[in-house]
Amino acid sequence: MSVLQTPVTVRVPATSANLGPGFDTLGLALDLYDEITVEAVPSGLHIDVTGAGAGEVPLDETHLVVRSMQAAFDLLGEKPAGLRLTCRNVVPHGRGLGSSAAAIVGGLLAARALVEGEDRLDDAALFQLATDLEGHPDNVAPALFGGLTISWVDGAAAAVERLDCQVPVTVFVPPTAVSTAEARGLLPATVPHGDAVFNAGRAALLVAALLHAPERLISATEDRLHQSYRSAAMPESYRLVRSLRVEGVPAVISGAGPTVLAFARGIDDACPEGWALHHLDVDAGGATVR
């Protein structure tokens, strides 16, 4: 067992979960990246954050990257005496683009690399730990493995099927956040059987549409399980999704919102004033360590 004395840098992609009908199941990695550098130091915890979340996230052991690193160190049975953490954040926080998944996956990978623990914590175990920390697998799966992921939980065991997929994406990012916890709190405990049937068909179709039938994307991105229930927390996003869809653009709320994701380009005029717009492609490789 040994602790690396050189810095480790992890790059983790943004992710979009749900993609319309695939609530808590479908996820897509996108080419927007957070970069985390960690270094073993003789003592203390030193955290430097620039970009998204700077001035907002805590700079102590409650920082999500540090909490995730600690979870990995506990499992690996080894940790450095002190840590220096540098976060260059590009993924916006609380917008539905998987910032918490990026922090968790980044922290776990950085910790594993720092104590050279690949043989003690393989990717499957790391994915399980990431799912436990996040509470659901649909963002951590593409953050770790890239591409399009179908992920689910069997009992407590997280599982994933990863698929190659290339599709053009535009995201419209509002200036204000909605936390995933708040958005999950708006969901009902039960849903009508007909709505579950509706989503099962659309989610299955969406995988086919993303792989080889783009003309199906407008039908395949319909949803009755979460977006309308959450509309009160993000009315402008919900309106934008509806107006794009009326124009035939396959648009959805990204993750728990409030970002709007469309499988399209050439729709920049739809961007509301004050929102950020990104043209994105699918990230095929997932998180990388160097």
Ligand X SMILES: Nc1ncnc2c1ncn2[C@@H]1O[C@H](COP(=O)(O)OP(=O)(O)OP(=O)(O)O)[C@@H](O)[C@H]1O
Between 89 and 221, name the residue whose CB sits nearer to ligand X.
Answer: 89
> Residue 49 in 3-state DSSP?
strand
Rule CB under 6 A: which of 233-262 touch ligand HSE? 255-256
Residues 6+ apart with CB under 8 A from 203: 21, 22, 25, 26
What's the N-to-C CA distance of the chain in angstroms? 20
Between 30 and 205, name the residue whose CB sits nearer to ligand X.
Answer: 30
Asked if 177 is part of the footprint of ligand HSE (rule: CB under 6 A), the reply reads no
Pick from 179, 248, 268, 279: which binds ligand X (CB under 6 A)? 179
* DSSP code for 282: B
Pick from 13, 21, 80, 96: which binds ligand X (CB under 6 A)? 96
Least separation in angstroms between CB 109 and ligand HSE: 19
Least separation in angstroms between CB 269 and ligand HSE: 28
Residue with tokens 């949803």: 223
Q: What tokens appear for 273 in the block?
A: 């004033």
Asked if 85 is part of the footprint of ligand HSE (rule: CB under 6 A), the reply reads no
Tell me the CA distances in angstroms from 69 to 78, 136, 163, one per residue in order.
11, 18, 28
Residues 6+ apart with CB under 8 A from 28: 15, 16, 19, 142, 147, 148, 149, 165, 167, 169, 282
Least separation in angstroms between CB 256 and ligand HSE: 4
Which residues in this chain contact ligand X in the complex, by CB under 6 A?
Answer: 17, 34, 53, 57, 63-65, 87, 89, 93-101, 103, 139, 179-180, 255-256
- Contacts with ligand HSE by CB under 6 A lie at 17-18, 23-24, 136, 138-139, 180, 183-184, 226, 255-256
